[in-house]
Structure 1
Amino acid sequence: MTLVTITQAEFDTLSDERLGWVCVESTLLSIRGKDAAAKSEAITSLNRSQQALCMFRVFYDHAKDSAQEFYSWVSYLLQAPGYWTGVTGALRYFGDENLLKLLEDTKQVIEINGHNAHAGGIGAFKELERQELLHTMNELYERFQVIVSGSLKRISSFIRSNPQDFVILAK
């Protein structure tokens, strides 16, 4: 278990998004570009709260910038062993029913319309050349943008209520 040392003042004043990142930054940076076994080993060495936060950030950090990245990343989660259950489990852990529902809705759209989405990356981006799919994904991404601010707030409230799971507060 890796706890991050920060000052009480920093802990109290970090934005919702930044607080979540600070708590798992070292873990996520250490596994970037590593194979699945190394990633799995790093995540399983964390406590349950840290695991949930890491899985949320794995999804959020990759999906937040555009409808195309949102679509591509959800497509990737669906075909990568353990990732879909890891992310949805994290959302359940934090009680984030709104984002969980959005992911389930997105999964349905991908399963119905995303013929090559399972290829991930370029294959998923290519699917978005179909206007009806692009329109639907833009709507889902707009919902994501509205919902995720509540997700970040919910998670930061969890962190602030359970600091012992994430940080060591320095004086």
Structure 2
Amino acid sequence: MTLVTMKQVEFDTLSDERLGWACVESTLLGIRGKDAAAKEQAITSLNKSQQALCMFRVFYDHAKKSAIEYYSWISYLLQTPGYWPGVTGSLRYFSDQKMLQLLEDTKQVIKERNNKHNGVAFYKDLEQDNELSHTVNRLYERFQEIVPNSLKRISTFIRSNQEDFVIIEK
């Protein structure tokens, strides 16, 4: 278990987004570019709260940039063993029903697209299919509406369960 050390004032004043990142930054940067086994080992060495936060950040940090990134990243999560259940499990852990429902809705759109085209979703799909592009843009707009509440929910959890994430410097 890896706890982050920070001063009380930092813990108290970091934004919702920055607090979540600060609690898992070293873990996520440490596994960037590593193979699946190294990533799994790093994540399983964390406590349940840290695991949930890491899996949320694996999703959020990639999906937040644009509708294309959102679509591409969710498609990737669905294809990569362990990632989809990890992300949806993290949303259940933080009782984030709205984001969980959005991911399920997005999964359904991707499944329907894949069945229709006998293939795997790819970012270029959005350039070639106006209806899909419109649908994904609407899903991404929902993401942008929901995510501040997700970040707030998670930061509130972190602040209420400080011992799972942080050691406060004296």
Which residue of structure 1 aligns with residue 126 of structure 2?
128
Taking the TM superposition and a 5 Å limit, the aligned residue runs for 1:33-112 are 33-112=33-112
Task: Name the amino acid aligned to 1:100.
Answer: L
Question: Structure 1 residue 117: deviation in Å?
Answer: 6.4
Between the aligned partners of 1:43 and 1:162, the Cα distance in structure 2 is 19
CA distance in 1, matches of 2:119, 2:69: 12
Question: Could you tell me which amino acid in structure 1 is paired with residue 161 of structure 2?
Answer: N
| Shift, 1:116, TM fit | 6.8
Bigger Cα displacement from structure 2, 136-145 vs 123-132: 123-132
Q: Which letter does structure 1 place at the counterpart of 2:41? A: E
Do the aligned residues in 2 keep the contact of 1:116 with 1:124 (CA within 8 Å)?
A: no
How many angstroms does 1:51 deviate by?
0.1
Determine the C-alpha separation between the residues in 1 that align with 2:77 and 2:10: 33
Q: Secondary structure at the match of 2:168?
A: strand
Q: How has the CA–CA distance of structure 1 residues 27 and 71 changed in structure 2, closer, same or farther, with 3 Å as cutoff? A: same
Q: Percent identity?
A: 74
Question: Which ranges in structure 2 are unaligned for 5 or more consecutive residues?
Answer: none
CA RMSD in angstroms, aligned pairs only: 1.0
For 2:148, the equivalent position in structure 1 comes to 149
Question: Cα deviations across residues 5-60 of structure 1 (Å, max 9, x unaligned)?
Answer: 00000000000000000000000000000000000000000000000000000000
Q: Report the alpha carbon displacement of residue 113 of structure 1 after superposing the two structures with TM.
A: 1.5
Deviates more, 1:126-135 or 1:97-106: 126-135
Instruction: Name the amino acid aligned to 2:135.
Output: T
Inter-partner Cα distance in structure 1 for 2:36 and 2:118: 23
CA distance in 1, matches of 2:119, 2:131: 15
Paired residue secondary structure (2:123) = helix
Q: Secondary structure at the match of 1:111?
A: helix
Q: Give the match for residue 163 of structure 1.
A: 162
Amino acid across the alignment from 1:44: T
The Cα of 1:166 is off from its aligned counterpart by 0.2
Write the distance in 2 (CA, Å) between the matches of 1:34 and 1:151: 28
Gaps of 5+ in 1: none
Give the C-alpha shift of residue 3 in structure 1: 0.2
Q: Report runs of 4+ in structure 1 exceeding 3 Å deviation.
A: 114-117
